[in-house]
Amino acid sequence: MEKAIKKYFPIFVLPTMIAFTIGFIVPFLYGIFLSFCKFTTVVDWEWVGLSNYLKIFFVNGELDTTFIHSLWYTALFTIVSVVIINVVSFIIAMALTKGIRGTNIFRTVFFMPNLIGGIVLSYIWLMLFNSVLSHFSKTIVSSEWYAFWGLIIVVCWQQIGYMMIIYVAGIQNIPGELIEAAKIDGANAFQILKNVTLPMLMPTITVCTFLTLTNGFKLFDQNMALTGGNPGKMSQLLALNIYDTMYGTTGWQGVGQAKAVIFFILVAIISLAQNKLTTSKEVQD
């Protein structure tokens, strides 16, 4: 059979591969190449070696902290959002698996914001934030910390419902006999949670943690629409900082591309760590 199928390569694989080459392979490889060049379009490149990478941190011999600030700001944002989203969605999931009345409606409501895209979502909240803050003569971009918590609220509203769905499925997969056995052995609610539920949920927790981790790290739309990086680039997360470098200042495309390469390496490290953690868990099972 394999032989018969083999001849059909052009029909089965070629369309996808051509698009994949245009949409991914060539842009990716050429992107790495361009990070070592000075350019304004893809044809006028001039090799400059590592100078773009140096320019990320040093401009005219002086230390430029914009990128490092954005890196720390992103890291902090990611950690805070991961913790809040996972803890809250876990608590909601626990409550919604107790068989209370109206569970399905609550689930529907909590999940709803997830389908609304980042741009629409951000303008909903921009209106609410700014109208409330205007009573105190402030806006969401009055300081980088207003922007920070504004972004946190938006991503929590968007992602808690999504993670809750995954936690609910995880909790429902725990065999009821385990909980029953623990109860008969005299364990209280807290002991059951700590010694039965949480260990059994580890695979789910890993998945949710990494989903929120990469979502936080790669956040762009909400950042652009809600704060635009203001005040003065102080609330730029990494993705927006790269975009701003690439399209905000002419002649800096190369530096933007170099930042993108660093960004890619960071995201790849997170993804590989996830892969390692999940596969090692599967082996144990």
Partner 1 sequence: MAGKQEVSTVRRAKHSGLLTALFTVISLIWIAPLFLVLMNSFKKKAFIFRNPFSISANPLSDGWDAFVEGVERAFHGVTNYVNAIEMTDFFEAFGTSLFITVASVIVIIVCTSMCAWYITRVHNKVTKGIYMLCLFSMIVPFQMVMFTLSKFANMLKLSNPVGIVIVYLGFGAGLAVFMFTGFVKGIAVEIEEAAMIDGCNPLQTFFWVVFPILKPTTVTVAILQAMWIWNDYLLPSLVLNINKYKTLPIAIQFLKQSHGQLDWGAMMAVLVLAIIPIVAFYMVCQKYIIEGVLAGAVKG
Residues in region 75-134 near partner 1 by CB under 8 A? 95-96, 98-102, 105-106, 108-120, 123-125, 127-128, 130-132, 134
Beta carbon of residue 69, minimum distance to partner 1 (angstroms, whole number): 18
Residue 278 Rama label (left phi>0; alpha psi -120 to 50; beta): alpha
d(CA 274, CA 280): 10
Which of 152, 145, 132 lies closest to 230 in space, CA to CA? 145
- DSSP, residue by residue, 91-118: HHHHHHTS--TTHHHHHHHHHGGGGS-H
Q: Amino acid letter at 219?
A: L
Q: Kindly state whether residue 4 participates in binding partner 1, applying the rule CB under 8 A.
A: yes
Which helix (H) or strand (E) segment holds residue 213: the answer is helix 202-217
User: From CA 153, how far away is CA 84, in angstroms rounded?
Assistant: 10
Measured from the CB atom, is 24 or 58 closer to partner 1?
24
16 lies in the site for partner 1, by CB under 8 A: yes
CB of 13 to partner 1, least distance (A): 5
- Answer whether 210's CB lies under 8 Å from 159's CB: no
Q: Does 1 bind partner 1 (CB under 8 A)?
A: yes
Q: Does 179 bind partner 1 (CB under 8 A)?
A: no
The DSSP bridge partners found for residue 37 are 47
24 binding partner 1? (CB under 8 A):
yes
CB nearer to partner 1: give 197 or 223: 223
Cα angle at 168 between 163 and 170, to 5 degrees?
95
**What is the three-class DSSP state of 24?**
helix
Contact residue for partner 1 among 188, 195, 271, 280 (CB under 8 A):
271
Tell me the closest approach of the beta carbon of residue 156 to partner 1, in angstroms. 11
- CA gap 270, 256 in Å, rounded: 21
- Of 36 and 62, which has the nearer Cβ to partner 1? 36
Tell whether residue 155 is a contact of partner 1 (CB under 8 A).
Answer: no
* Binding track, positions 196-215, relative to partner 1; x by CB under 8 A: -----------xx--x----
CB nearer to partner 1: pick between 24 and 72: 24
Residue 169 touching partner 1 (CB under 8 A): yes
Q: In sequence order, what are the beta bridge partners of 62?
A: 59
Could you tell me the smallest distance in angstroms from the CB atom of residue 79 to partner 1? 19
- Closer to partner 1 at the Cβ: 166 or 182? 166
